[in-house]
Amino acid sequence: MGEYSGVNYQMLNGADEGPRTDNLRKLSLLPLIFLIFYEVSGGPFGVEDSVNAAGPLLALLGFLVFPFIWSIPEALITAELGTMFPEDGGYVIWVSSALGQFWGFQQGWMKWLSGVIDNALYPVLFLDYLKSSIPALGGGLPRIGAVLALTLVLTYMNYRGLTIVGWVAVLLGAASLLPFIVMGLVAIPKLRPKRWLSVNLHNVDWNLYLNTLFWNLNYWDSISTLTGEVDNPKKTLPKALFYALILVVLGYFFPLLIGTGATHLDREMWTDGYFSNIAKVIGGAWLSWWVQGAAAMSNMGMFVAEMSSDSFQLFGMAQRGMLPEFFCRRSRYGTPLLGILFSASGVILLSWLSFQEIVAAENFLYCFGMLIEFVAFIRLRMKYPEAPRPYKIPLGTVGSVLMLIPPTVLIVVVLVLSSFKVFLVSLGAILIGLILHPCLMYTDKWRWLKFSVSGDLPDLRAAERGSTNSSEV
């Protein structure tokens, strides 16, 4: 995915790692791979709408081609900037260093809100897969109670520690993917390759199709918000992103290949939760129940991974003085308690929205955040060309700009295709961020709340001077 330059990351205090977490266990490679897997994917649950919107051929092509347009560039940027800034806060720190604290805060607000909206999906998906077996979960008080209970249990898991979350993600990932391997073996006699070629370009819901692809293949940069919790991030993060990319693409493409090739096509039936029906057709009730259980475990994994990212983002922003100091406090398990509570509250407030509304709203906000992130990436290449980059994309500035043209065009298309309702809601959310930053700075000025900046944060100018001096010697 790029090149490792072998340089040490230079900090204000002369250390070669991120902000100190001396007594905390760090994430190793395997848990990090599965945390990224759950940040981005979690398995094929949620891809069904791509077949509904465009048919089998375009759905399959989408999950093969789209990673080259979007996932790989985003993963490469995450690998370079995540190792350049091995600290909690991730993309907020990148944007702040390139464009200033105001834009860093806007990036943090939009990405955090997008992440919380994304996390509100998982209780919805969880219950959608179970409601075919437990109809009472389809609505009303039982559904509300189930959402609250699930949110509380998974929030507590985040509170207990990131290392626990990482290894839980490994176990849940294996359990989530195993039934689809079995389903593929059972389906071999029923496969009809001609079904994969079904397409009708006059009957494509491009908005739903692109939003589904975009939602299922983005959020590669989310893992950057907890880079400070990773063991040797300079080497571990790029490797984890590479292996997670392979796992994500196979985790989508293989079940779609089996589902569309082994069953008769009824596009209207392809909506969230439909893989359990496909499993029943292919293998019987036992396989359907297994897929439903895998979906439940997958949504648990996605929830805890996303909440970890969101909460550590708030922690990193507080270290940079963008949020009040109390967001910097860790629990006895090393987790950012206030960040977890704020993120969980947002999930509960947003869980009443429908699946399609949530996907569209989060994609809109995420697109704005990614545009700022792309600008910050190019700006850092131009502003600090000699700053140490332990992992560097093997492209110059011009090559990097060319790499970002296709995903930028895609972002514009997703924004243009958004509904007017989603546009208004997202615009309102952006305006809140524009107002919130000066309000927080006002409270800092009048000392109504305490803000502070950690002494362990990187100084790019000093690092660049150190790198230049080293090369001269």
Report how many helices (DSSP H) and strands (DSSP E) the chain contains, helices first. Answer: 18, 2
Q: CA 227, 218, 378 angle in degrees (round to 5)?
A: 65
Q: CA 139, 141, 146 angle in degrees (round to 5)?
A: 80
Q: Which pair of structure tokens corresponds to residue 256? A: 């779609």
pLDDT at 326: 87
Amino acid letter, 120: A
Mean pLDDT by 10 residues, the chain (473 residues): 40 38 73 93 88 93 93 94 90 92 92 83 72 70 79 84 86 91 93 91 88 87 91 92 95 94 89 87 91 85 88 90 88 86 80 62 81 94 88 89 92 82 83 92 86 67 52 45
Rounded to the nearest 5°, which phi and psi values hold at 88?
A: -70, 145
The pTM is what? 0.85
* HEC readout, 148-177: HHHHHHHHHHHHCCHHHHHHHHHHHHHHHH
DSSP assignments along 300-317, one per residue: HHHHHHHHHHHHHHHHHH
Rounded to the nearest 5°, which phi and psi values hold at 334?
A: 85, 5
DSSP assignments along 225-246, one per residue: GBGGGBSSHHHHHHHHHHHHHH
pLDDT at 162: 82
368 CB-near residues (< 8 Å, 6+ apart): 110, 426, 430
pLDDT at 252: 94
Q: How many Cα neighbours within 13 Å face the side chain of 375? A: 15
